[in-house]
Structure 1
Amino acid sequence: MSQGATRREVLLQALTGYALVRTLLWQDALAGPVRQEVQAWLSKTHELCAELREKKLTPREWQQQLEALYTRVPLPELLAAIDVERLKPGLELPDDRAGAVLAPLPRVEGLPRVFGSKLFGLAQGRAVVPHGHQNMVSMHVVLAGEFHLRHFERVESQPRHLVLRPSIDRVSGPGDLSSISDQHDNVHWLVATKGPAYTFDLILDRLDPALGFAWKLDYVDVARAEPLAGGLLRARRIEFDEAVRRYGKT
């Protein structure tokens, strides 16, 4: 970094070569310098998602590169691009789980949208119940509130259990992010310890059309998992209703 360079300048330099001027923003009120930065990370987001869809990136590489990108995105610019304050009134916060609404990012002209995005909201003490994923990737940025965030590696899939290795256990506040894929940090569990709490989630599914399904979720009873050698856990598969009953409200 050159002396006196701002984070905005570093980000723009890092994204040189992407179609910045082709990005169409919905938020016309964004100031000029901020708009240019938002154009940069939106273009890069579309590029990374397209490369994953085209198998030019592995899911793990997508996680690494997208997390590196969004770590550099100032939270106020992300909030403005999503238009969070407009979405919040339409987002119900259930008593035993997360609520969600679509939160599309602005499009990039000439590029098809190959990912989805949502705003998730939770009242304090409510949770995104522990679950694993199949045939999808997602990234999650905390926008407000605070979470107890836990992730687990899926070591083995058994008919009635998942064998897991704990990988992340931390407090997650505004600006913090995490991601999942079939390859890395596949199972996660988020409890809103300070609320209301919100996350922005960017999602790609149907990564392997040959599987015959777009995506699947595997709910697991991690708190009652059987300890195994080497720090592993053998967690029972459960249905969604049981997961909500056990974990949706603390």
Structure 2
Amino acid sequence: MNRRVFTEKSLKAAMSYGLVSSLIQTQAIGKHILPITNHWSIELNDFCHDLRKSTIGVMEWQQKVEDLFDKVPLQDLLNFIDFDQLIRGFNYPDLGVNTKKVTFPKLDGLPERTAFVKKIFGMKKDRAIIPHGHANMSSAHLVLKGGMRLRHYDNLRVEDNTMLIKPTIDKTIAAGESSSISDEKDNVHWFIAETETAFTFDVIMLDLDDKPYDIYNLDIQAKEDPNNGSFRVPILDVDAALKKYGKESHH
């Protein structure tokens, strides 16, 4: 090898070493590796496991999951759950919403069976996740696509096939925004799609405290006995609720 070739090879090696050193110093390599070793899905599963074991309360769980959703780049989450594949040929019902189960890819530190149920919910414009409340469950909902009108209410009590509720949230939410429910906070929710299609990613915790979960479909428009900002609404069977609330009428 002549001196010129040797010098060129030495310079290239030095430049390569310098580039790697620079990348390490700026943590660019570390940033690339972090999502694999410290992925949001692992943290999410840890939160859900803690709630299942009652080492955190439901309101703390709500805050932790919503904070996590705020930090996760939406495109990363869409790629991770293979959103484009999930909605390929998606069946949009004329009333209400359709769902698909989500499967996470294999990842070190993430159990194959997560501590929570994971689904996407999808619907066409003016269709709704009908107003309903819950018992013995918590869930969080991240908008993946589109925009929705979201209303929340606190469940004050259930009696005589009615629920006493108090409004807490009424706003439009878009892709990247989230909400959550529990027995203690914002228990009732109601989503109406305001764009051509709309989707949420849902994290669902059922049968908390070893009690069977329940869902109460509510006739919000039939509210009565308003008092101090709260009111009483009838509980409906799912067919009646879908017929009245599954598709918003603009007439």
Q: TM-score range by the shorter chain?
A: 0.7 to 0.9
Q: CA deviation at 1:95?
A: 0.3
Structure 2 residue aligned with 1:170: 171
What SS does the corresponding residue of 2:35 show, helix, strand or coil? helix
What SS does the corresponding residue of 1:93 show, helix, strand or coil? coil
Structure 1 residue aligned with 2:88: 89
Structure 2 residue aligned with 1:74: 73
Letter in 2 for 1:192: A
Q: Looking at CA atoms only, which structure, 1 or 2, has the larger radius of gyration?
A: 2
Letter in 2 for 1:182: D
Q: CA deviation at 1:157?
A: 1.1
Q: CA deviation at 1:84?
A: 0.3
Matched ranges for 1:1-250 at <5 A: 33=31, 36-37=34-35, 39-109=38-108, 111=111, 112-209=113-210, 211=211, 213=212, 215-250=213-248
Q: Distance in 1 between the 2:193 and 2:130 partners? A: 11
Q: CA deviation at 1:61?
A: 0.8
* Structure 2: gaps of 5 or more residues: 1-26
Q: Which consecutive aligned stretches of 4+ in structure 1 deviate over 6 angstroms post-superposition?
A: none
Q: CA deviation at 1:109?
A: 4.0
Report Cα offsets for 1:76-102 as digits up to 9, x if no partner.
011111110010024311000100000
What SS does the corresponding residue of 2:166 show, helix, strand or coil? strand
Could you tell me whether the CA contact under 8 Å between 1:130 and 1:220 is conserved in 2? Answer: yes
* Structure 1: gaps of 5 or more residues: 1-11, 13-30
Q: 1:139 to 1:94 in 2, by over 3 A?
A: same
TM-score by length of 1: 0.82
Q: Distance in 2 between the 1:128 and 1:203 partners? A: 15
Letter in 1 for 2:101: L
Q: 1:233 to 1:132 in 2, by over 3 A?
A: same
For this pair of structures, how many residues does the alignment match?
A: 218
Letter in 2 for 1:97: G
Q: CA deviation at 1:32?
A: 8.4
Could you tell me whether the CA contact under 8 Å between 1:34 and 1:77 is conserved in 2? Answer: no
Could you tell me whether the CA contact under 8 Å between 2:52 and 2:209 is conserved in 1? Answer: no
Q: Distance in 2 between the 1:236 and 1:168 partners? A: 20
Indicate the RMSD between aligned Cα atoms, in angstroms. Answer: 1.9
Structure 1 residue aligned with 2:14: none
Could you tell me whether the CA contact under 8 Å between 1:220 and 1:238 is conserved in 2? Answer: yes
What SS does the corresponding residue of 1:228 show, helix, strand or coil? strand
Which stretch has the larger CA shift, 36-45 or 186-195? Answer: 36-45
Q: CA deviation at 1:198?
A: 0.5
Q: CA deviation at 1:114?
A: 1.1
Could you tell me whether the CA contact under 8 Å between 1:97 and 1:127 is conserved in 2? Answer: yes
Letter in 2 for 1:139: A
Q: CA deviation at 1:195?
A: 2.1
Q: CA deviation at 1:37?
A: 2.9
